[in-house]
Each structure stands twice: as structure tokens, then as C-alpha cells.
Amino acid sequence: MQQVILNFHGVGPIPRPIDPGEHNCWLEQDFFNAVLDLIPGQSHVQITFDDGNVSDLEIALPALIKRGLKAAFYICSGRLDQPTFLNSSQLRQLQDHGMTIGCHGVDHLPWRELSSDKLNHEIVESKNALEKVCGCTVDRAACPFGSYNRRVLAGLHRAGYQVVYTSDGGTSSSRQWLQARTTVTRSTSLEQIQHLIHHGAGAWNQSLINARTWLKRLR
């Protein structure tokens, strides 16, 4: 079945100086709640969070629990226990509430641009660090900035990841190893999200997304 994966970053007041490009990904809490209200009863919709902001626990988790929803949280291991990010205890609290923990690298770097040694550090050392904190296998990864190519995907395969998430948008099959997500931003409207949930990206747009994805996998 084709699924829709909605991806979030920070929610609520911005707690630290951020790059201008990141501002669009940091959502007002009321808008975030309104998006979540569209999801109950939609079994083909998944929810993910990137970066490991402390708002994952303080704002997102209570909102998910209230609506009976589950999510996967993709963590940068190098940010654990740093101000405004989750600490190790908070990460385990997410686990205790049935949330999935995955890898988002060590230092939130674009994987496609890294040397082989640095890429290996980002996808292997981060996995090891998160498994040590969580006490379980971490076998899902999300590419920072949606940055990947054939070399990155080969490295993720070797590291043992069972599912890898991108930021390519549209829909994807739950049977695919590489799965596309749609990042919800301040520029996204509730109407756009509702249309994606109920109707997908549309045949033409989905064809373009699929073509771009194949090009990225081959380059």
C-alpha cells in the first residue's frame, strides 16, 4: 500500500540561534497540533521527527499520546545531552512510550558531500552510540538534508540499516527499503497536507518524484 510519511523538526518557541533555512522547518505549536488532528484513523500515514530537539519530548510526545499516535525520532548522536536537544534519559522516555528511535548521523552533515571515512563515521558510529543509549538495535536511518547518492546508500546497506528515509516527498510503498517523506514546514498549508493524505501527490507529480529519486540513486 502507498503510504504518506510526514516529517517534522522543531515545534514551539525556537530555543537557540538557527540558520535562516532552518526557520521554515520550525513549526508553531497550534499548526503542529492541527496537522496531527488530520492523522488519527489514517493507517497509511507515518510520522517522523528529525534532529532530536527537546521539543520532541516536551511538545510532540504529549500531543502524540493525546491522539493515540506513534512516531519515529531520528537523532543526531553528537547532539545528545547538549542544550536544547534531547538527553539520554529523555530519549529513553520516548522509547518507553512506544516511539521508535533511528539514526540521523552524528553531526547533522549532508552525507553525499562527505569523504568515505567521514560518511562511515556518521552512519556507523552514530548507530553504535544510539544503540548503547537505547539498549536495542537501531536499524532505521534518515538522511540529513535529504542528501544521498549511490555511495551513501551502499554505506547504509553495509551498516545494516533495514529502512532508509529521504526527503523526496510524495508517497512510497511500505515494502521499499528507501522511503520518501514529506517535510512539513511553515510554508505548508493544512489543505496541502489533507490532499496528500487522501489523494497522494498526483500522478504527474509522483512520476517526477520517482524520476528524481532514481537519478539520485544512480549518481
* Whole-prediction pTM: 0.96
- The pLDDT assigned to 28 comes to 98
**CB-based contacts of 165, cutoff 8 Å, min separation 6:** 5, 7, 48, 74, 102, 140, 141, 142, 143, 179, 180, 181
Give every residue of the chain whose pLDDT is below 50, as ranges. Answer: none
- The pLDDT assigned to 84 comes to 98
- The pLDDT assigned to 1 comes to 63
- The pLDDT assigned to 71 comes to 98
Of 46, 55, 73, nearest in space to 15 by CA = 55
- The pLDDT assigned to 215 comes to 84
Domain chopping of the chain, boundaries: 2-102+165-218
In CATH, which of 3.20.20.370, 3.90.1150.10, 3.40.50.720, 1.20.1090.10 is domain 2-102+165-218? 3.20.20.370
